[in-house]
Chain A
Amino acid sequence: MSLYEHVGLIAPGISVSDRDALAAVGRSLGIRTSVDDELRTLRAELDSPPEAVPSRTTARRRVAETAAELEAKRERVATLRGRMQAGDGDLGAAYRDAIKTLSEAETEHAAAREALEDARERARGALDDRDRRLRLEDRLGNAERTARRELISAVRPRIDDAVADAPGSEADEFGDADAVSAALALVKVGRIRRPVVLACGRFPTRDAAERWLGAPAYRIPPRG
């Protein structure tokens, strides 16, 4: 988020997300941090979209279905065998048929298992890539936190001074400031090119506001 997005409009009741806004001031000033190179490298590595992970859902379903079919065919063969052994009529043809479909079911199940194994193998490669990205993302998160910390400590003293100097401010440092004073201090210390909109009644004129802020401003006179 740019500094302007944090403090483009300054009016009573605004909320300033403290640490993000402080870091945005540092960035607007082009302050370097010890992790700038690392951030650039990591962002470049994560720039390309991740490899697609092939779905194994269809293959899993097929394995389960063929397993159920196989079981049914086996039972059919066992039943027929039992009846034949018990001397139940002429079941030779039916038995041979059942054996044949059992063998087909076995082939289909084996093929389904192999397809699932292949799909898992392909997914493994893609998941390795996700693994690598996840580690890079974690490193990026750490580097971003480091950068933010450094940016904040670089600008914090100047912000505190500006807070103490802001018209209508009763605080001596950023942490104790009301939101309007805090936002004014952020604008004063940071670099903002687009005019900020002031509806805070802290300055008598637009000129006075721009002089203090060192930034272009529109002043909306307070109501009443």
Chain B
Amino acid sequence: MLLVVTYSQAARTSLRNVCRTHASSVVRRLGRAALLEETEHGAFLALRLREKHPETVRLERTEPLNEFRDVPESVRDAARAYEDRANDTTPYSAFAVGSTHPAPSTLKSRDL
């Protein structure tokens, strides 16, 4: 999908108008951002917004994350185990110590 993020009031207003007028090409509106359909029409709308507000419209192409394809098992296990922890107040950094789960610094140093 195409993610449009706006960084000014004017761009946000334009985005709102585009979303209102072309609802069928809008997957979701998220305040000052929106996800547009990955069609030529979606791209057309996104590019129009960037033409109109070259400095304050950012466009990204997104895809749903498949953790089973894109995320190592160690990370998936860590997330599942941490959300299942006994003590709600334990920060992850403490939780990882002495466990088989990677430390936050390790996670941060590895690209997906």
Contacts and interface: CB of A to CB of B under 8 A. Distances in A.
Contact of B7 (A55, A57, A131, A138): A131
* Chain A interface extent, by class: 10 to 19
A15 B12 CA distance: 31
Contacts, number: 24
Contacts of B32: 134
A137 interface: yes
Contacts of A131: 7
Interface residues on B, range: under 10
Contact of A134 (B7, B55, B58): B7
Interface in A125-160: 126-127, 130-131, 133-134, 137-138
A127 B55 CA distance: 8
A52 interface: yes
A53 interface: yes
20 contacts: A52-B55, A53-B55, A53-B56, A57-B54, A126-B55, A127-B7, A127-B56, A130-B7, A130-B8, A130-B55, A130-B56, A131-B7, A133-B8, A134-B7, A134-B8, A134-B9, A134-B12, A134-B32, A137-B9, A138-B9
Interface of A: 52-53, 55, 57, 123, 126-127, 130-131, 133-134, 137-138
Given A130-B55, A130-B56, A133-B8, 20 more contacts: A52-B55, A53-B7, A53-B55, A53-B56, A55-B54, A57-B54, A123-B58, A126-B55, A127-B7, A127-B58, A130-B7, A130-B8, A131-B7, A134-B7, A134-B8, A134-B9, A134-B12, A134-B32, A137-B9, A138-B9
